[in-house]
Structure 1
């Protein structure tokens, strides 16, 4: 946020140039503005089409056995034989999945900012909301306990306190709520630190 306030100056200048001012609450506007989301996170996958190779120079060194099946078809054989063999080969090798990058192919990603893992938008939003709330109150005196932040946001409904439960039960619930808030804050700080390194969304050090 400090980088945004300085107009993109500082050690995160490269990140600011790519992501722009992220203080805007309208995620859809941020994502679609100038095609930003697609530019940053989309994969530049070359289109593969079924075709005949008439020369060895048409072979692409980037092809892998998982993505391309190369066969030699003897044109002297009958059409029925060729078709039956192709069907058997396809049954053995063809395992179509939904388009997109598989987790195991992260190192081969062509995106400017490869997605380290699949997070739901809801989870990321909740993490940001908790962190924003924490930043708002972290310097207040007296210090606001983490469990109170969670209660204000109704973060864990089963850990909400009330006047009709025992003091021990209240303390147990506050411990659960506080631990949950602490976990969200820790994840948010890791997300921010890793995003600055071009790794998003990642909650590992």
Structure 2
């Protein structure tokens, strides 16, 4: 189990989303085996935190700040995330995972100030877990019935909470098309889609060079639709990638509001 030191005491680190090294957490909370973003991918790439790190490396302002040893437009974020180019992901993660862990709610002998909207429940660790669970559930239901309605507070208490639930498979495809654009700046959206492996079910043209027969016209129309569909998909991923990269440089990921 992953732990952190709080006031000289070890307390478990809790993540709302599966961390890269799932064996170090309570495995019952997360699916095992994990859904890989692509065939034979390392298991840690199933974690959204890997993709946070990967997209941050594509932010040019952050890259410039890393190259300048923390000086630049992303200096504030750099103080937390450090140089993401200095080591591999898992090495970086083991030093920075606390950025994404939930803050501990267990504070010794400290009663919450906002007593009107909170219930103070003291846990006796010697009692059976199922009994504690049932009591907390009953208190929660009772609180919803008697307390005034208020806007729900954010579900995560992490310093950098995950903005949205996006699959590793989708994040992989979005980043792949972005990287292909970087390597092939002159390629069309359709060509990028083909390079990314999007299947183009094109109908072969006639070996006799026919262009005006019904069959030839149908094939041309079908192939045009296929090319447009692949180009649209590639462009959508490129727009999403641009927003992910822009917002990850602001400490929010994965955030894309317009696709």
Superposition TM-score, scaled by structure 2 size: 0.51
Aligned residues: 164
Structure 1 contact 161–174 (Cα < 8 Å) conserved: no
Which structure is larger by alpha-carbon Rg, 1 or 2?
1
Choose between structure 1 and 2 for higher RCO, CA contacts under 8 A separated by at least 6 residues.
2
Q: In angstroms, what is the RMSD of aligned CA positions? A: 3.5
Q: 2:72 corresponds to which residue?
A: 10
Quick check: 1:39 aligned with 2:98?
yes
Structure 1 contact 130–181 (Cα < 8 Å) conserved: yes
Structure-to-structure mapping, 1:1-205, within 5 angstroms: 1-2=59-60, 3-5=62-64, 6-7=67-68, 8-23=70-85, 26-32=88-94, 34=95, 36=96, 38-47=97-106, 59-62=111-114, 68=120, 92-94=138-140, 104-106=152-154, 109-138=156-185, 143-155=186-198, 157=199, 160-164=200-204, 166-204=219-257
Q: Deviations over 1:93-119 (max 9, x none)?
A: 457xxxxxxxx542x743221211122
Distance in structure 1 (CA, Å) of the matches to 2:158 and 2:135:
32
Structure 1 contact 191–203 (Cα < 8 Å) conserved: yes
Return closer, same or farther for 1:46/1:64 CA change in 2, 3 Å cut-off: farther
Q: CA deviation at 1:67?
A: 6.1
Of Structure 1 and Structure 2, the greater helix share is in: 1
Q: Deviations over 1:145-181 (max 9, x none)?
A: 11111111113x3xx1435372221111111111111
Distance in structure 2 (CA, Å) of the matches to 1:59 and 1:66:
10
Distance in structure 1 (CA, Å) of the matches to 2:233 and 2:87:
24
Q: Which sections of structure 2, spanning at least 5 residues, go unmatched?
A: 1-58, 123-133, 142-151, 206-218
Q: CA deviation at 1:60?
A: 2.1
